[in-house]
Structure 1
Amino acid sequence: MAYFRYKGRDRLGKAKQGKISAESKQEAVANLKLNGVIVFQIDELNSILYKEIHFGKKVKHKDFVIFLRQFSTLIDAGVTLVEATTILQEQTDSKHIKSSLAKITEHLESGETLSQAMERYDDIYPSLLTNMIHAGEVSGNLDEILDNMATYYEKQNQLRQKIVTALTYPLTVGVFALLISIFLLTFIVPTFANMFTSMGEDLPAYTAFILGLSDFTRSYWWVLLLLVILAFILIRYLLSKPNLAYRLDVLKLKTPIFGDLLQKAVLARMTRTLSSLLNSSVPILQAVQIADRVITNRVVKKVLQDSQTSLEQGESLATPMKDHWVFTKMVTQMIAVGERSGSLDEMLSKVADFYEEELDHATDKIKSLIEPIMIVILTVIVGAIVLAIIIPMFSLFENI
């Protein structure tokens, strides 16, 4: 549930303003209209006081994919929309999907279309899905559209899992190395520091440095925590600035090893999205506009926006892509061939298949390369701290 501040006028022309709670902006406007208020302006209240607290995403990718596949199967079997949403309320494990389906069922019974009902809950159902469902309602092939969308989101979930798998291992090992280092510096090194002090001998410079680092960690741990918080705030600030966020996305794509992985992932998602839209008879200009909203990488978004302009001027979709470094020759050539032959959806699907397969190989390769590197890094970090303790021990044994 979200909260919105609105301004408008009632049937007598009297100014009205206030706050209203609803699942979406569309639902808030509809409820106000039922109460005789014509809305001129409505904005979501983003203050934490007006936010529901939940951890992570509202709906897990896995739950959403299962829901969509079950929905597609029920509609394909001839079950009515109202019956399907009622059945899925009982089957889904997601409380947010369950809650939204209960209200969607009510909207369907009141005469709304499925796409209109789903648009009210845009924090659960993506705009791509609602646009495609609307296209299916108009063309009369909703069952086919739902099947295509179920397949699309299954592939997107698999793509996401591949990226998460590739990035999880180095991140886990890095966090583990940091925790071990903090544990050694906080609890183990101070024990030996007292012993070294009692020896009354000058310590090697390297050992003295580690002991100083240990003292700093124990005395000023709050500084380290503050730096982490400031880094998080700085990243959020940078992402709020379009130019800086764009440069950050460029940096991601040009990062050694992982940049190539992210490039393949974003190209696979873009081509798969366009292919699914065009295969469902969505006009190409509208398909590019929807893909622009789906893709999160600002570098690719900018090129897609240029492609919209190119199409509006009667030129090729691939024209802005040909001279851009993020798009490979394979992508632009396949798009050009598809446009000439009238089979653009098929060509885009083949490109998506290729990059999804490439992503499989890339993730396996990264895991095989990163694993020994991270083990060496972990060994060096722990070994460096242990070595600082061992070096003075040799001097102690010589004196004995």
Structure 2
Amino acid sequence: MTTAATFHVRSVRLGDATVSEQTLQATSETALRQTLAGQGLTVLSVKAAKARASHAAAGGRGRYALFCREVGTLIQAGMTLVEAVDTLSARERLAGRHDSLAAQLLQRLQQGTALSQALASMPGAPAVLVAAVRAGERTSDLAQALNDYLKFDTLVEQLRRKVVSASIYPALVTTLGVGISLFLLLVVMPNFARMYTNLRGAAGGATSWMIGLSQWVSEHQAATLAAVGLTLLALAWWVWRGTARRQVMALAQRLPWMRRRIDDFQLAMMYQALALMLKGGYPLTEALAVASRSALDARLSQALQQALGRIAQGSAVAPALADAGLCDEVGRRLMAAAERNGQFHLAADVVSRLHGERFELFVERLTRIVEPVLLMAVALMVGTIVVMMYLPVFDMATRLK
């Protein structure tokens, strides 16, 4: 399976002079250009993003969410948009931060640029946020649009925190087990090796193997410590660069039951973004185009583009989404009901919650399975080392008798 790569894209829409900068995922630059062209965008440049971009994007989401929360609060308190952004910018200047998000947006707003266009020109601005603000500008209810985006961001962060919280305990258990094992191998074993020097020739089986390992560690302790240190540094680099996440995700995508749960995570965000756009007055096709840039990987994004093409040609929404694998039977029936009553945003919100709850249930069940398995694995690893260290002691006691 082809792994999706991350690209920094600068594009412009015909009839709109504002240059938009986005961070998108695609299987290749050619596929990304074709997707953007299908959305009516003229691509100015495409650059492959470094692995660290994922960390920057995560930090950027938090920055934009905080900005939306503060601006929405000030607007509801009676300030105009420019006054609210100016207030936040003044606070940042007093704190010694002169190039903050509020300061950059204030400069554009004072030049007469709409907030949606100002956000679109900012690197790393979420496409869903830009679309929500644009919808708020259409309906003259910017505070509500910001609140709607915060609901979307809350869902995303809630699902992410669920994964992080579930992984903390297994990570601690694994780290503790590996640490104890290294201590036994690097500190305790060399001391035992000196006791077993005279037993080397006569011992056999596991005892002989353990004595040999103890003596080797004792003789090459510096090299062993250096190898362990380099291994830990390589592991930290592997995780920090984001390679670990990509490879784990690629492996998970090859397992059908894991792929379905990952799809639930992405579809929960997609349908929540779709509900936000539809509530803001976007046409369904345009809302689907924005939702496709919310959090979908290349496979689901391509499936949504195919469904969008069918819908644009007059196909019913529910069959198009179902045939593309973007909703199950419950979701299909909800979207079919929305086609009759026109309440697409309510149906999309319900489908989003269904996928989100399914993903949360999966994480809880997986945590309950993984935690005892890890405890048993760590106990077996440490216990095996301890038992094998003391086997020669028993052998020596037998010889003394």
Is structure 2 residue 344 aligned with structure 1 residue 344?
A: yes
- 8 Å CA contact 1:246–1:298 kept in 2: the answer is no
Aligned-residue CA RMSD (Å): 4.2
Mind listing any 5+ residue stretches in structure 2 that lack a counterpart?
Answer: 1-7, 11-18, 23-42, 218-222
1:250 lines up with 2:253 in the alignment = yes
SS of 2:78's equivalent in the other structure is coil
Partner of 1:293, secondary structure, is coil
Count of aligned pairs between the two proteins: 356
Whether contact under 8 Å (1:25, 1:120) holds in the other structure is: yes
The answer (yes or no) to whether the contact 1:204–1:392 under 8 Å persists in 2 is no
Match of 1:154 in 2: 154
Counterparts in 2 of 1:169-180, with a 5 A limit? 169-180=169-180
Alignment CA distance shift 1:159-1:221 (3 Å) = closer
Measure the CA separation in 1 of the matches of 2:207 and 2:57. Answer: 46
Deviation (angstroms), 1:229? 8.3
Change in Cα spacing, 1:112 to 1:74, as seen in structure 2 (3 Å) is: same
Q: Decide whether aligned partners of structure 1 residues 293 and 105 sit closer, same or farther in structure 2, where only a CA change above 3 A counts.
A: same
State the secondary structure of the residue aligned to 1:318.
helix
Q: Distance in 2 between matches of 1:358 and 1:42?
A: 39
Q: Secondary structure at the match of 2:345?
A: helix
Indicate whether 1:87 and 2:90 are aligned. no
Aligned ranges 1:39-188 → 2 under 5 Å: 59=59, 64-89=64-89, 99-123=100-124, 125-188=125-188
User: Residue 197 of structure 1 corresponds to which residue in structure 2?
Assistant: 197
TM-score (norm 1): 0.74
Give the superposition deviation at 1:114: 0.9
SS in 2 for 1:105: helix
Mapped to 2, the partners of 1:326 and 1:169 lie a distance apart of 33
- 1:173–1:378 contact (8 Å) kept in structure 2: yes
Q: How does 1:296-311 map to 2 (within 5 A)?
A: 296-311=296-311
Alpha-carbon distance between aligned partners in 1 of 2:209 and 2:233, rounded to the nearest angstrom? 23
Relative to structure 1, the CA distance from residue 186 to residue 295 in structure 2 (aligned partners, 3 Å threshold; closer, same or farther) is: same
- Check conservation: 1:72, 1:150, Cα contact below 8 A: no
CA drift at 1:376: 1.0
CA distance change for structure 1 residues 321 and 57 in 2, over 3 Å: closer, same or farther? Answer: closer
Larger mean Cα displacement after TM superposition, 89-98 or 69-78: 89-98
Alpha-carbon contact 1:271-1:349 (below 8 Å) kept:
yes
Deviation of 1:382 after TM superposition, in Å, equals 0.8
Q: Are residues 270 and 189 of structure 1, via their aligned partners in 2, closer, same or farther at CA, if it must alter by over 3 Å?
A: same
Q: What is the TM-score normalised by the length of structure 2?
A: 0.73
- Amino acid aligned to 1:184: L
Q: Distance in 2 between matches of 1:292 and 1:186?
A: 52
Distance in 2 of aligned mates of 1:120 and 1:389: 64
Q: Read off the aligned partner of 1:122 and give its amino acid letter.
A: P
Distance in 1 separating the partners of 2:208 and 2:262: 43
Whole-Å separation in 2 of the counterparts to 1:229 and 1:254: 29
Change (3 A) 1:327 1:203: farther
Counterpart-to-counterpart distance in 2, 1:326 and 1:204: 61
Does structure 1 conserve the Cα–Cα contact (< 8 Å) formed by 2:306 and 2:324? no
Aligned counterpart, 1:387: 387
Contact 1:279–1:345 (8 Å) recurs in 2: yes
Alignment-mate amino acid for residue 390 of structure 1: Y
2:299 & 2:47 partners in 1: Cα distance? 28
From the superposition, tell whether residues 393 and 223 of structure 1 become closer, same or farther in structure 2 (CA, over 3 Å): same
Change (3 A) 1:202 1:301: farther
Deviation of the 1:340 alpha carbon = 3.0
Distance in 2 between the 1:280 and 1:41 partners?
A: 29
Q: Distance in 2 between matches of 1:307 and 1:346?
A: 20
CA contact (8 A) 2:200 2:208 kept: no
Query: How many angstroms apart in 2 are the aligned matches of 1:364 and 1:387?
Result: 35
Q: What secondary structure sits across from 1:294 in the alignment?
A: coil
Letter in 2 for 1:338: A
SS at match of 2:149: helix
Among the aligned pairs, what percent are the same residue?
23
What letter corresponds to residue 335 of structure 2 in structure 1?
I
Relative to 1, partners in 2 of residues 1:150 and 1:199: Cα closer, same or farther, differing over 3 Å? same
Q: CA deviation at 1:92?
A: 7.3
For 1:166 and 1:58, locate their aligned partners in 2 and report how far apart those are by CA, in whole Å: 19
> CA deviation digits over 1:90-141, x for unaligned, max 9?
6679998971211211211121111122222222x31211122122223322
Asked if 2 retains the 8 angstrom alpha-carbon contact of 1:253 and 1:263, the reply is no
Equivalent residue, structure 2, for 1:273: 273
**In structure 2, what is the Cα distance between the partners aligned to 1:277 and 1:234?**
34
1:294 and 2:294 are equivalent in the alignment: yes
Q: In the alignment, residue 102 of structure 2 is paired with which amino acid?
A: L
Q: Distance in 1 between matches of 2:176 and 2:298?
A: 32
Measured after TM superposition, the shift of residue 78 of structure 1 is: 2.9
CA contact (8 A) 1:274 1:287 kept: yes
Q: Which moved more, 1:132-141 or 1:59-68?
A: 59-68
Name structure 1 gaps, 5 residues minimum.
7-22, 27-39
Structure 1 window deviating more from structure 2 (296-305 vs 371-380): it is 296-305
In 1, are the aligned partners of 2:67 and 2:102 still within 8 Å (CA)?
no
State the 1:41 CA deviation: 6.2
Distance 2:297 2:280 in 1: 24
Residues in 2 aligned to 1:228 and 1:254: alpha-carbon distance in whole angstroms: 27
**Shift of residue 42, structure 1, vs aligned partner:** 5.8
Give the C-alpha shift of residue 227 in structure 1: 7.0
Q: Secondary structure at the match of 1:281?
A: coil
> Equivalents in 1 of 2:373, 2:249: separation in Å?
30
Structure 2 CA distance for aligned equivalents of residues 253 and 209 of structure 1: 42
String of CA shifts for 1:308-349, please: whole Å, max 9, x gaps: 121122113333543466743222222222223311211111
